[in-house]
Structure 1
Amino acid sequence: MREYTQLYIGGGWTDPATGAVIEVVSPHTEEVVGRAPEGSPADMDRAVAAAREAFDDGPWPRMSPAERGEALGRLAAAYEARQAEMAETITAEMGCTLAFSQLAQAPMAHAVLSYYAGLGDSLVVESERQGLFAPITVRREPVGVVAAIVPWNTPQFLTMTKMAPALLAGCAVVVKPAPETPLDAQILAELVDEAGLPPGVVGIVPAGRESGEHLVRHPGVDKVAFTGSTAAGRRIGALCAEQLRRCSLELGGKSAAILLDDADLDAYIGWLPLTSFIISGQGCIAQTRVLVRRDRVQEVLDRLSEACRAMRMGDPFDPATELGPLATARQRDKVEGYIRLGQEEGAKLVAGGGRRGFERGWYVEPTVFLGDNTMRVAREEIFGPVLVVIPYEDEEDAIRLANDSEYGLGGSVWTRDAERGLAVARRVRTGVCAVNGFLLDPVAPFGGFKASGMGRELGPEGLDGYLEYKSIPRMG
């Protein structure tokens, strides 16, 4: 049992404004595995005030990028030393397999932090150009105080996609973790403290929706960086628009895996745990539409059914487990509602659809439908291990179906001809479309087209979102 009683605000641990407590419940055992204080609007006010002071009057934004990069390097070193603990904590909180936490949840967060730490020596914040009328100094300055609002599915990775570039840019950051995953965030606060970042540069306040909206509305915040549902993103975007506040939004998805006629099915099936069933389907980039040429549909359904039946479900800490529980009872109920809806819509249930005998824990077995692209189960983000196989006629039809979605976040193309795969991927309107697999790389931009969001994270492009341009013409 991991228990915390204080919040990390202003460079130290402080008592929360209220006695509200978040109880973290294991998605596997349904038992309490930890407790943390729940931040209130008053706590958000204190965190923003500390961040405002750190940005307006403190040393952080006035350091060179190399100095900030060195500080991030200290944080990365501290993070690496507790990476195993971080992975175990995330699995305990939200139920993804420990194997995935050890492969991606903690290591990817560390990789993003290390990447931005390494950019400190090369980041150019001031350059000269000869204008038409006078020499001009062009500066890139930090945007200010950033509110980073993070979901529960990949909490550390998505914290770092915001916090690391914001800090390198010279911003101060208030992180609001989801109430489902406050414990890993408290470990991060300990690491920030250990790394010796100036007071107020990072504040971490786990909280629910009311306090999150208070943070978004706060007049001391200059930018909101949010990852979550498209519905919540629309709300945050509207609030930011009212105040002309900068925001970046990484939202939902309904990504398509396009299996071309020459696709290697063994390769596709082997990638299922990291594509369609990543985090038990609770990934915004999960490829939950499977587009298959009509003459191969039965073959693909047979292979998917076999793979789903063989997929080992259970204790996420068991190394043999391939599919853990869903993160909350609410999420399980939502997914089961969509499974019923799919059958009511006329989709054919080919595999799964139940709990596979689990009486405890929030389990849903991997589920496969045969349907079409007009059904709600093919158009709405379910956020669970539910796939819809959709037949297509030819390559042009496959591309049309892939793009026939309000979302545009992830996707993949499967083919034995890499050049053909690249040509198809170029025509799919998503932020990432991989060939024969899937990958988010810290050096490349990630974000969505259409209702999947606005702005980009990762790569140099992710840093740009935390910098403002200033021109200084010199006429004498």
Structure 2
Amino acid sequence: MITYDKVFIGGTWTEPSNPELLDILSPHDESLVGRAAQARPADVDRAVAVARAAFDEGTWPNTPPAERIAVVRRLNSLREARAEEIAAVITAENGSAGWFTRAGQPSLTRQAGAYLKAAEDLAWEETLTPTDPAATVRSVVRREAIGVVAAVIPWNSPFSASLAKIVPALPAGDTVVLKVSPENSLSMGLLAELLAECGLPAGTISVLPADRETSEHLVSHLDVDKVAFTGSTGAGRRIASIAGQQLKRVSLELGGKSAAVVLPDADLARFTAGLAFSCLLNNGEACIAQTRILAPRSRYEEVVAAVQQGVESLKVGDPRDPDTFIGPMVRRDQQQRVRDYIETGIKEGARLVTGGPQVPAGLERGHYVTPTVFADVDNSMRIAQEEIFGPVLVVIAYDDEDDAVRIANDSEYGLSGGVWSADEQHALAVARRIRIRTGTGTVTVNGAPIGFDGPFGGFKAGGLGREYGFAGLDTYLEYKTVTI
């Protein structure tokens, strides 16, 4: 069992303002996995104060960019050395299947590498060539750190979400207060250990597991200059409101109800093989999961049968078992929420193809949901419009390509999506039609994984701003123009 009885403030393990420890229970069988201290507003105040002092004193923001990048590379190397341990802890506390937490470790290396290459290639200061040859004034453009960043992340993929914010913020020269979910107190304790080793100056970063009330105290803090948030759309709206009132920088990576458009010429065997990873990754608790499957009427029942076969082939059970693909929901209330949505789908008149609201046999003790597929779904139904965040898929029929694009675009969200076709160029053309203003920010073709060099993020209720690569790094920088 793992115990963290202190909170990590400014690089030092510190006595919490409230000594009571939170029990971290296994979503698989509700056994005790560990205990951890939880931050309260007084701890947030201390963390922000040391971050503010560290930034204003200039030790970290005035460190040469190459040295800041080297520290973050050291952090990534330390993480790689403990990758198996990290994966096991996330599986224990979150219920994420072991295949997912292990596969995520090399992805983190690629994610960090894209950010760091962008930082290495960045012109931190450049003199612009005047557009008027006769001009006597020259402009020098500097890219400088924003200041104190409040990074707030959800529970479903803690290392990916936290490093997506830490890795660009630190090379930019910002100081960071990372607020993590109570469910992830153990894995984020491991992250704090790595941060303590990598060579950051005192005050540069804090890691605070805390509840929503404490999170709001952080994002409302007047000494915070930017909020970087990943989580629900409802919480994102609240944070955007607070940031707007204070005119502080904000970036939001929010929810999704992504569409997988199966074109008439799609290879269904290939689609079925990719379905698990595109539609049901991380037990379905993933904002990018393509949970709306759009199928042509000419092949509708064939697609429904393929989805049913693919879902029923996946093993549900102990997330530590290497054969398990789908583990439990993170909490009991999340399990009930998903089961309620399944009941809603039945009441709405959708056809239950497989699964249902019943708990899988033999898995009554944990927070398990039976993977479920609905057919004959209208895109106006709640199960087609609302983010369920569990292993529930809906199959929606379309008449022609125009209709498919219309349905894909008909969503409050705009985070992710996919197109499946035997003709890659045709799939790319359809992906382009899932439009920027009414569509989605990230589209994959034939199940390709999301890359880290290009920008990632959503439109509409899917978010505000971008992560990964140069676009992600840029959200942690301010531009200053000096004229001479």
TM-score of the pair, normalised by structure 1 = 0.97
* One of 356, 361, 371 as aligned partner of 2:360: 356
* Contact 1:68/1:120, CA 8 A, preserved across alignment: no
Residue 387 of structure 2 is aligned to residue 381 of structure 1: yes
Percent identical across equivalent pairs? 50
Query: Distance between the aligned counterparts of 1:256 and 1:276, measured in 2?
Result: 9
Shift of 1:6: 0.8
* One of 393, 403, 411 as aligned partner of 1:405: 411
**Relative to 1, partners in 2 of residues 1:374 and 1:121: Cα closer, same or farther, differing over 3 Å?**
closer
Residue 154 of structure 2 is aligned to residue 148 of structure 1: no
Map of 1:41 onto structure 2: 41
* Contact 1:308/1:352, CA 8 A, preserved across alignment: no
Map of 1:425 onto structure 2: 431
* Contact 2:444/2:450, CA 8 A, preserved across alignment: no
Shift of 1:252: 0.4
* Contact 1:95/1:316, CA 8 A, preserved across alignment: yes
Query: Distance between the aligned counterparts of 1:286 and 1:157, measured in 2?
Result: 16
Map of 2:315 onto structure 1: 312
Listed as ranges, the gaps of 5+ residues in structure 2 are: none
Give the SS at the match of 2:229: strand
Amino acid at match of 1:421: A
Give the SS at the match of 1:205: strand
Amino acid at match of 1:146: V
What is the aligned length?
473
Query: Distance between the aligned counterparts of 2:230 and 2:21, measured in 1?
Result: 24
* Contact 1:69/1:117, CA 8 A, preserved across alignment: yes
Amino acid at match of 1:440: I
Cα distance per residue 1:142-177 (max 9 Å; x no partner): 111100001011110010111100111100011001
* Contact 2:276/2:310, CA 8 A, preserved across alignment: no
Matches within 5 A, 1:24-63: 24-63=24-63
Map of 1:231 onto structure 2: 234
Map of 2:3 onto structure 1: 3
Map of 2:456 onto structure 1: 446
Map of 2:115 onto structure 1: 116
* Contact 1:140/1:470, CA 8 A, preserved across alignment: yes
* Contact 1:274/1:438, CA 8 A, preserved across alignment: no
Shift of 1:125: 1.0
Matches within 5 A, 1:285-324: 285-324=288-327
Give the SS at the match of 1:203: strand
Shift of 1:275: 1.1
Amino acid at match of 2:465: G
Shift of 1:79: 1.0
- Stretch of structure 1 that moved more, 209-218 or 299-308: 299-308
Listed as ranges, the gaps of 5+ residues in structure 1 are: none
* One of 214, 218, 234 as aligned partner of 2:217: 214
* One of 335, 338, 357 as aligned partner of 2:338: 335
* Contact 2:118/2:473, CA 8 A, preserved across alignment: no
Query: Distance between the aligned counterparts of 1:264 and 1:219, measured in 2?
Result: 54
Give the SS at the match of 2:183: coil
Cα distance per residue 1:361-414 (max 9 Å; x no partner): 111121011111010100000001111100000011000000001111111000
TM-score of the pair, normalised by structure 2 = 0.96
Shift of 1:248: 0.2
Map of 2:192 onto structure 1: 189
Cα distance per residue 1:96-132 (max 9 Å; x no partner): 111111001x332333234333444322111101445
